[in-house]
Amino acid sequence: MRLDIISIFPEYFAPLDVSLIGKARERGTLDVRVHQLRDWAHDVHKTVDDTPYGGGPGMVMKPEVWGEAIDTVVGDGSPRMIVPTPSGRPFTQELAQELADEPWLLFACGRYEGIDSRVMDEYATRLRVDEVSIGDYVLAGGEVAVLVMVEAIGRLLPGVLGNAQSAVDDSFAPGSMQNLVEGPVYTKPPVWRGHEVPPVLLSGHHGNVARWRRDQAIRRTVRNRPELARELDPGTLDKHDRKL
Ligand SMILES: COc1cccc(COC(=O)c2cn[nH]c2)c1
């Protein structure tokens, strides 16, 4: 997969040189290219923003600079363009999986009050353009949101997660634990400062362990994510669970 990122703070993406993503880049699974938006601003101050039409606080990123930058990066190709913004569609595990199947992604990092809307309109005529939110809060720019999405997407690429980990069992991945959050996890020692590991996990009885894990995941989902618990089909909260 090829990933292009356009930002006025390319140094934000140094973390993509380490850990899972860094190794995927070394292996050639991921081809990440970060671009400095100001390289396409031609005035002496390399200006990328201006005051908003219609008035109001803050600044808006200029369409001309973005247009030249995206034209250069895209050429005659057709990457899927992602613009992180609080007003975008929610980023979910499902969307992460969908994006992990794309051969080429282009991330546009907005700052200030955002990017002139005509930029998204212009590229929507020839590319798939998605405005995507990683949550209901406002960041200073899209860079951190891109780091979140690249990590969530990257770990789904074949060969990125070692066999010690598996994205298949993720909370939100398809399967019997889908839409449930993870339950508690434990490792050695069996007793730590008087806290015992739940005995079922030491029993070696895989059926009981699976049932216990599912029950714990349901309990935690009901407690921490009632809006997800309400979506669970009735079969999930069978008679035993109804007492939760
Ligand atoms: C492109 O326009 C804007 C405007 C304002 C901030 C940002 C940065 O993104 C976020 O703040 C965000 C993304 N998901 N949740 C929050 C982009």
List pLDDT tens digits, range 75-119: 999 999 999 999 999 999 999 999 999 999 999 999 999 999 999
Q: Which residue's alpha carbon is at the smallest distance from atom 13 of ligand 1?
A: 85
* 222/227 Cα distance (integer angstroms): 8
User: What is the percent of the chain where pLDDT is above 90?
Assistant: 82
End-to-end CA distance of the chain: 44
Helix spans in the chain (H): 19-27, 63-74, 93-100, 117-124, 143-154, 206-224, 226-229, 239-242
- State the pLDDT at residue 126: 97
Least confident of 10-19, 39-48, 153-162, 171-180: 171-180
* 155/137 Cα distance (integer angstroms): 24
Q: Give the distance (Å) from ligand 1 centre to CA of residue 143.
A: 9
- State the pLDDT at residue 240: 45
Selected catalytic residue, list 2, 10, 86, 122: 86
Q: Which residue's alpha carbon is at the smallest distance from atom 4 of ligand 1?
A: 114
94 is a catalytic site residue:
no
Q: Give the distance (Å) from ligand 1 centre to CA of residue 193.
A: 44
- State the pLDDT at residue 238: 61
Reported ipTM: the value is 0.98
Burial class (CB in 10 A: 0-12, 13-18, 19+), 134: buried
DSSP designation for 40: G
186-199: per-residue pLDDT in tens?
999 999 999 999 99
Pick from 211, 218, 221: which is nearest to 237 by CA?
A: 218
Find all residues with CB under 8 Å of 244, minimum gap 6, and list them: 218, 219, 222, 237
State which amino acid sits at residue 240: H
Evaluate the CA torsion angle 217, 219, 224, 230 in order and state its sign.
Answer: positive
Mean pLDDT of 42-66: 98
86 is a catalytic site residue:
yes
User: 52 in ligand 1 pocket by Cβ < 6 Å?
Assistant: no
